[in-house]
Amino acid sequence: MLLAAGLGTRLRPLTDLRPKPIVPVANKPLAAFAMEHLAGSGVTRIVANTHPRPDKVESALNGACPDGVELLFSRESKLLGTGGGLRKAYPLFDDSRDSVIVMNGDTLFAPDLARAMEKHESRNAVATMILRRAPDAAQFGAIGIDASGRVRSLLGTPHDQAVREELMFTGVHILSREAFSAMPESGCVIRIAYRHWVDSGASVLGIVDDSPWADLGTVSEYHRLNLALASGSFTWPGISPRGGCILPNGLEASASIRRSVVGQGVAIEEGVTLDRCIVWPDVRVERSATNAVITADHIVAVS
What DSSP element (H or E) covers 223?
helix 219-231
Q: Which helix (H) or strand (E) covers residue 145, if one does?
A: strand 143-145
CA angle 100, 192, 99 (to 5 degrees): 10
Q: Model confidence over 22-79: pLDDT tens digits?
A: 999 999 999 999 999 999 999 999 999 999 999 999 999 999 999 999 999 999 999 9
Locate the domains of the chain by residue range: 2-215, 219-301
- pLDDT value at residue 288: 95
Q: Residue 81: in which H helix or E strand, if any?
A: helix 81-89
Contact 39/66 with Cβ under 8 angstroms? yes
Cβ neighbors of 199 (< 8 A, separation 6 or more) are: 158
pLDDT in tens, 65-122: 999 999 999 999 999 999 999 999 999 987 666 899 999 988 899 999 999 999 999 9
d(CA 130, CA 38): 14
pTM of the model: 0.91
Closest Cα partner for 71 from 63, 80, 79? Answer: 63
The predicted structure's pLDDT at residue 155: 83
Lowest average pLDDT, out of 125-134, 136-145, 189-198, 223-232, goes to 136-145
Name the class of domain 2-215.
Answer: alpha beta
Cα separation values, 198 from 9, 132, 154, 170, 211, Å = 30, 19, 8, 18, 26
